[in-house]
Each structure stands twice: as C-alpha cells, then as structure tokens.
Structure 1
Amino acid sequence: MAWDLDLFYIIRNWGVADRTPFTDLLKIVERTVRSEHQRSPNRPIYLVGESLGACLALAVAALNPDIDLVLILANPATSFRRSSLQLLTPLLEALPNPLSPGLPNILRSTEGESLRMLLDNVVQGLPLQNTAGELVKDFTAFSLSLPVLADILPKETLVWKLKMLKSASAYAHSRLYAIKAQTLILCSGNDQLLPSQQEGERLLKLLPKSKCQLRKFDDSGHFLFLEDSIDLVTIIKGTSYYRRGKYHDYASDFIPPTLDEAKNIIESNSLFNLIASAVMLSTLEDGTLVKGLAGIPSEGPVLFVGYHMLLGLEKIPLVSRIFLERNILLRGVAHPMMFMRSKNGRLPDLSSFDKFRVMGAVPVAPTNLFKLFSSKSHVLLYPGGMREALHRKGEEYKLFWPEQSEFVRMAARFGAKIVPFGAVGEDDLGEVVFDYDDLVKIPYFRSEIESLTNEATQLRSDAGGEVANQPVHMPLILPKVPGRFYYYFGKPLEMEGRKQELRDRKKAHEIYLQVKSEVERCIAYLKVKRESDPYRGIGPRLLYQATHGFESEVPTFEI
C-alpha cells in the first residue's frame, strides 16, 4: 500500500493449525510495538485489528499506555460473551468427530427451521442431548455463517478458535480502564456473528471520550475489511486519524484525495448537482466575463471569498465543478464543530462531515490559513460564516461580514490572489418560513438552541455586530419547485508585492471593503441576469437534457 503509515499492522485470522495461546500472541505483538517505539519514539504506531485482532490491539494498548498508539478496531470481539457464538463451543463438542464430510454441503443448503430439525436429529442419543437441544433453539442465526466455517476449519480448530475468542474477549474487557490510546471503532450493522453496533456504542462510552470515535456501516457484515465498498485508507483520512506527530494537523497531515475518492464523493452528490444545474461565470485577467471557469487562477495560493447561501448548499456544486473541470481542490475553511466536539449532545454526528475532511476542509483558524497559503493551496473562505448560512427570513443575499479585515494581510504576506465571488439560487430551492426569531419564542426550541450552541465551539465571541450572533439552529424551510444555482467569480485581485503596503491596517481595510463590494456586485448581477435564463426552472432543463442527453450542458442567459 503506497501510503505513509508509520507502522501498519493488519491483525486478522491466524493459521488453521495454529494453537498459539492468546497471551503468547500478545507478547509477539507487544515486543514488535516496543521495538518500533524505541526506533521512532515521536511517531504514532497504528494497530488495525478485526474481531479477535481488535481484542489483541486493545490488550497491547492497555499494557503500554505510555506508547502513542492509534487503534483501528473493526467489529471487536469484546462482545463475545453477549453473542450467540458462545453457544457454539458446547454444541460442537457434542457433535461426532470427525464431522461428516458432507456436512458443509448439507449446512449450505439448510436454513431456518430445516437447520433446526437437522440439528435436532444430530444430537439425538448424544450424552449432552438435553444441553445440545437447548442450544439448537438459538442456533438458527448461524445458518449462513456455519457452512463457511465448516468448509475452512476442522472441528478441533473451530472449537479452539471459539475458546480463543472467549479468552481474548475477557482479557481485553478486563483492561479497558487502562487504555489511553486514540481509538477508531468500525462496526457493521449486518454482522451475523457478533452484536457489533451495540458493542461499538458500549466501547465508545468506556474508552476516553476525547480520543475515541465510532463509525457505523449499516449494510456490512462481520468481515468488514474484505468488502469491496470499504476502503480503510479513506476511512482513516475522513476521520482525521492519520498523523505524523503527537497531534493531527489538519493542514500538514492532509493527504489529497485520490481521483477515485474524489469522484465517489462527487458522485454521492450527483442528484443535488443535477437539480442545481449550476451556471458558472468567471473573469479573465483582462476583465472579460466568460462562461465557465477559464478565469480561475491555476497556480496557488488563491483565496476564494464569497457569500454563504442558506445551509451552505452552494459548496457542493462549487467544489465539484472546480475539481472536475480544472483539477483544482478547494480547501474549505469550516466551522470547528465539523471536526471536534467538546461533549456528546444533539449536534449532527461527526461522521456526517467525513467527506468534507477527505476533500481537504480545515477548521477556521489563522494558523490553518497560514499553512494553506504556505502550501500554495486554493482556499475557500466565507467571512459571514454560520450567521449567513443560517440567516433569517428576508435576509437572502445579505452579507454578514466582520467589521475588520480577517484575511487581506495574510493573503498579501504570501502573494495570494483573492477571487471574490457571488452565488444565488437558494430562493429557487426553498424559503425560510420559521427562523431563529420565531424559534426562540417557543420555550422548548429556545432550550434546544441554547443547548446546541453551548455544545458547538464558539467563534468570534469578541466580535461585534450580527456576525458574532451565531446560534446553532435549523430553520424551517418550505421547498420550492427547484430553480437553478448561479456563480460569478470576479476578477482576481493580485496581492503579490503588496506585503509592505498592506501592513497598513487602513489600506488593508480598503482592500477588504473592495472584496466585499465585489461580492455584492456579483450577487446583484446574477439576480438580474437569471430572470432571462429560459432554463431557470427544472422542467425546461429536464426537457432539454431528455432531447440532448443528460450529460450535456444546459444553456443559460447571454452575457
């Protein structure tokens, strides 16, 4: 795997004839971990374990709390004692030895009540008939998994493996209190062997909250890493678990998405992109307005500064089109609540934002902006932040920017180009009918808003005006027959060679107001011109695509 993980162990199933006790396996892995730690004491060690391997990884972490470990646990077998698997051991011991050569084929074609009848016949006359008979009542769930096990493992090995699972589960479970490692739990919703999702929730409560995250895969089975739809590297990148040092750095530890990763994420938004059918205009260096993205600077650093539409919906077509048409990845500067939580509450689960992190989003902070400019990135910034994205009724296309410049001098320091842009179309998709001012009048919703706002990281608490008013809430939006999104990228403002000049706060503020005025001009232009777009409504667009092909670009107004 051509990906720079400091140490990457895949701890999975051991050999069929292997009888190494769990404690000996633990010593083997522990020795390797300590050796690697001595060689690179300032770098994390990754332990990836599935099922039994997850117990092994937990045990190593419990015994080595002073070593910087990152645990990736898939369907951990710490849930063994609450699974029906524990019923298998006495049943298998009661079966004839060796098992009938035809048993795998019989089991493969036998399900549900037929399996129960078969097993009832098998246990007749055995010394443990009563015990085995009771076990059969809970055995139907294994009608799909037992044939596979019977094909792969002889009876003695299968019994030994189950006993190993039991001891590994007990060993790891008794030492959970000692674990300090950063942990990512991956659990399947369709695991037929273990209650993995319930176990994931349980471990999330027992392990250090600030270092533990959970991701659920509702349609996946027990052997998560064998499924084609599961890419472990993408998961680690999306959860921000890849780091080179003691802490994850959202800028310098970022690994750009592969072409497949980016296309999969963009494809997941294909319906919305189809509905939005974005029209994009850009401005060439000579000031000429053109259709398309030819005016977007190819070389960074570039700072895109624009208006945040309702719920931030404009980001989806914006990032998608610029990546697909110009092969440029926009690194969004986003609210910190998309990356971390101070406590558990009712905010959307962090997994909702994994795709944004894979595509390079970073928490808003001067240090992150500095690092992005240093790496010559294309950066996306919304000065209006949450206040614009969660605006009130009648505030469509109104900018809520801070009074003082937040980005001009930083852009000048690195010679970045600033591209002001406007976007319209939110009022073509829906209308706010119940906003913050309405919600706070109702005691229940007022309490909910206060709770959510308190849970989210607070920004601009020292700022004045409306931009500092960022309560977390969800306005009630009445959907409309979909219209269309429009984007207008103004002429890039060159900051190269202006570092000394813009150290003067007054001059920097003049540039800031110029950028803001340009964004407002772009919005005003689009609001007027879209009225002459014959394909503004979704009906004419669908008719056009039905006759010209759904991959064809839908025309718009003349410029």
Structure 2
Amino acid sequence: MANFSDQHNQPLASDEALQAHIEQALAASPMVGRELDVLYAVIKRAFKPQVFGVEKIPDRPCLFVGNHSLFALDAFVMGPLMLKEYGRFLRPMGDKFLFTQPGLAKLLLSRGGTMGHPEVCSALMAAGEDVLVFPGGAHEAVKPASKRYELQWQERFGFIKLAASHGYTIVPFGMVGPDEFYTHLIEGSDVPNSAIAPLLRKAGLLGDDTRPDMIPPLPLGVMGTLLPKPQPCYLSFAEPVSLASYKRRKPGKAQLKQIRDEVALRIEDELAELLLIREQSRQKDGLLRRLLTV
C-alpha cells in the first residue's frame, strides 16, 4: 500500500530535477536477454494474454492511450508483451507519487517508466518514443469494483494537446483482465472509517490530508495473498487517430473535446468487445485457474 501522505510531494519541483529526470528517461533502454525472457514467460503463463488489432498500429512512434486498471498492473503486463512480441518499447507515464522515493524512481526510470509531466512527455515525443498514457491516472487506478472498465478521465485534455503539438498518432486500446487481479476486501473510500484505519495512520500510510478518492482498496489476491490472481488478459487496439494535421496549428477547445471523446469512444468499444470475448472463453479455462481466480 502506497504512502498516501506523499501524494502532495513535488519530486520534480525544481528545473534541475526536471531536467535530470528527462535525461534519465531519454537514456533508458528496453529490457533484453534473460530479464525480459523470464518476465515475459511469467506473464504468458500466469495471464495468458491475447492481443487483437495489432495490425492497426502504425509503423511510427505513437501515443498509446487506454483504460487504467487497479494498481496500474496493466502496464506490467502490456510492456514486456509489446516489447517481446512486437518490438515496441512503450514508455509508461506514471503519477508523481511513484517518484517521491528515490529507490523506486530509479527502478522505474531504468525500466522505461517516467513521471507524467508535460515536459517529460514532450521530450519523449521529440525523441520519437512510443509513449503509454492512462488519462485516468491514479484516480482510475484505485477505482472501486463497481467502476471496473469505466474511464475516469474527467476534463483532462493534456495528452491530446501534447500529441497534437508533435503531430503524433494516438492508438486507443482496451485491456480486460487486470481489474480482476484482486478482490476488493475494503473499498478505498471506506478505508478511513474501517477497523484498520488506526493501524494505517500509525504506520504513516494514512493522514488527515489524504484524499479519500485517492486511497486504493484493500486487496485480496490469489488464495488470500497479495499475489495477483491469474486472470486471463485481453488487449485490443482500435483504429488510430492521427493528429499530424495539428502539428502546425493548435486545436481549439471544441476540437480537443471532440478528439478526446472519439478516443474514449474507441476504447469503450474495444472494452465491450473484449468483455464479450472473455465471457465466451471462460469455459476454456482449466479447473486450477478457475479455482485460483475465485
């Protein structure tokens, strides 16, 4: 469980820190060799990922935009899968609280992750990198079970503005599976009033300034552990949205909303199709997998 009291920290508050972060992000290289092979093998065996629509992805740097799952484990599955099978080194952009601890920040940067900051994203696009963004951010990554596979984008347009300014192509995608890696023993909004709240406060994980909508649920994984349940994962790419025509002109507010809504609609259509495919495939799961995903 994250230290929620750090949510207001500013890890890239100074220009020097921001530039250092950008330099480290640009210097990152994709996993290779045994490390990638082992992680890929674990993902394939545990989650049996199926990918649809990969032929729609343009042969040029893109901004991949999708729905966010609980604890951001979608990137953990998607990153090695896309790198190993399709040679696409996706650069996931994460919430600032992930970069408040130097050790974790160093690890994420070394594996291609970066902080979701406009200047960082702009630098990656200028370098021709594949960028992975979840506009719902941390808010969508801690949503309650009742909101599974629902986009929580609110009024965010930043990713559209950045893609437009660099003439990037947006590749919408939907992913089903990671939202069921854990059962929600206690929903995040109920944690402050739960029996474990005093323990969390004592441990410094819950503070008076903690936003209830940013608290994750209390998770329960496979056989009551914190290991994710081996839910099969389904990933599907929609038709891309090219913003090349906006590289020399800024889209207006109405155009920004139209583009964002179109991207969201394409993701929602993919999610609906994937949920149907999953339902039709359930009988193919072995007995052990069905028992472990209860």
Amino acid in structure 1 at the alignment position of 2:82: I
TM-fit CA distance, 1:340: 2.4
What SS does the aligned partner of 2:60 have?
coil
What SS does the aligned partner of 2:56 have?
coil
What SS does the aligned partner of 2:131 have?
strand
TM-fit CA distance, 1:538: 4.6
- 1:317 and 1:476 map into 2 onto residues whose CA distance is 18
Amino acid in structure 2 at the alignment position of 1:340: T
Of the three residues 395, 399, 410, the one matched with 2:162 is 410
Structure 1 stretches of 5 or more lacking a match? 1-244, 283-292, 342-349, 459-467, 543-559
TM-fit CA distance, 1:506: 1.1
TM-fit CA distance, 1:449: 6.4
2:279 is aligned to: 531
1:434 is aligned to: 186
Of the three residues 292, 299, 311, the one matched with 2:60 is 299
Of the three residues 482, 486, 491, the one matched with 2:239 is 491
Residues 433, 477 of structure 1: 8 Å contact kept: yes
TM-fit CA distance, 1:361: 1.1
- 1:499 and 1:530 map into 2 onto residues whose CA distance is 39
- 1:455 and 1:380 map into 2 onto residues whose CA distance is 33
Of the three residues 304, 319, 329, the one matched with 2:89 is 329
Residues 422, 520 of structure 1: 8 Å contact kept: yes
What SS does the aligned partner of 1:423 have?
strand
1:529–1:437 CA distance, 2 compared to 1 (3 A): same
**Does 1:482 find its partner at 2:230?**
yes
2:80 is aligned to: 320
2:128 is aligned to: 376
Residues 189, 215 of structure 2: 8 Å contact kept: no
1:358–1:521 CA distance, 2 compared to 1 (3 A): same
- 2:66 and 2:155 map into 1 onto residues whose CA distance is 16
- 2:166 and 2:201 map into 1 onto residues whose CA distance is 40
Once the two structures are superposed, residues 131-188 of structure 1 have per-residue CA deviations (whole angstroms, 9 ceiling, x without a partner) of: xxxxxxxxxxxxxxxxxxxxxxxxxxxxxxxxxxxxxxxxxxxxxxxxxxxxxxxxxx
Amino acid in structure 1 at the alignment position of 2:46: I
TM-fit CA distance, 1:358: 1.5
Structure 2 stretches of 5 or more lacking a match? 1-15, 224-228
Q: Give the alignment's TM-score, normalised by structure 1.
A: 0.43
1:259–1:382 CA distance, 2 compared to 1 (3 A): closer
1:432–1:248 CA distance, 2 compared to 1 (3 A): same
RMSD, aligned CA? 3.4
1:58 is aligned to: none
Aligned residue pair count = 270
**Does 1:452 find its partner at 2:205?**
yes
TM-fit CA distance, 1:539: 4.5
TM-fit CA distance, 1:264: 0.8
TM-fit CA distance, 1:535: 6.6
User: Rg larger in 1 or in 2?
Assistant: 1
Higher RCO (CA 8 Å, separation ≥ 6 residues): 2
TM-fit CA distance, 1:360: 1.5
- 2:259 and 2:85 map into 1 onto residues whose CA distance is 30
* Alignment map for 1:509-548 (pairs within 5 Å): 509-533=257-281, 537-539=285-287
Residues 431, 477 of structure 1: 8 Å contact kept: yes
* Alignment map for 1:88-167 (pairs within 5 Å): none
- 1:514 and 1:537 map into 2 onto residues whose CA distance is 34
Of the three residues 6, 11, 27, the one matched with 1:255 is 27
1:411–1:279 CA distance, 2 compared to 1 (3 A): same
Residues 393, 433 of structure 1: 8 Å contact kept: no
What SS does the aligned partner of 2:148 have?
coil
TM-fit CA distance, 1:299: 1.4
Identity of aligned residues (%): 20
Of the three residues 333, 340, 347, the one matched with 2:100 is 340
- 1:536 and 1:438 map into 2 onto residues whose CA distance is 36
What SS does the aligned partner of 1:379 have?
strand
Once the two structures are superposed, residues 384-421 of structure 1 have per-residue CA deviations (whole angstroms, 9 ceiling, x without a partner) of: 11111111132211211121412112211111000111
Residues 449, 472 of structure 1: 8 Å contact kept: no
- 2:94 and 2:30 map into 1 onto residues whose CA distance is 22
What SS does the aligned partner of 1:250 have?
helix
Q: Give the alignment's TM-score, normalised by structure 2.
A: 0.78
Residues 530, 536 of structure 1: 8 Å contact kept: no
TM-fit CA distance, 1:430: 3.2
1:391 is aligned to: 143
- 1:298 and 1:449 map into 2 onto residues whose CA distance is 49
Once the two structures are superposed, residues 290-331 of structure 1 have per-residue CA deviations (whole angstroms, 9 ceiling, x without a partner) of: xxx33222311x111111111112112211111112222111
1:277 is aligned to: 48
Residues 449, 473 of structure 1: 8 Å contact kept: no
- 2:121 and 2:92 map into 1 onto residues whose CA distance is 10
Residues 40, 81 of structure 2: 8 Å contact kept: no
2:255 is aligned to: 507
- 1:541 and 1:445 map into 2 onto residues whose CA distance is 33
**Does 1:264 find its partner at 2:35?**
yes
Residues 173, 270 of structure 2: 8 Å contact kept: yes
Residues 186, 219 of structure 2: 8 Å contact kept: yes
- 1:428 and 1:336 map into 2 onto residues whose CA distance is 25
- 2:22 and 2:271 map into 1 onto residues whose CA distance is 31
What SS does the aligned partner of 1:311 have?
helix
1:287 is aligned to: none
1:447–1:433 CA distance, 2 compared to 1 (3 A): closer
Higher helix fraction (1 or 2): 2
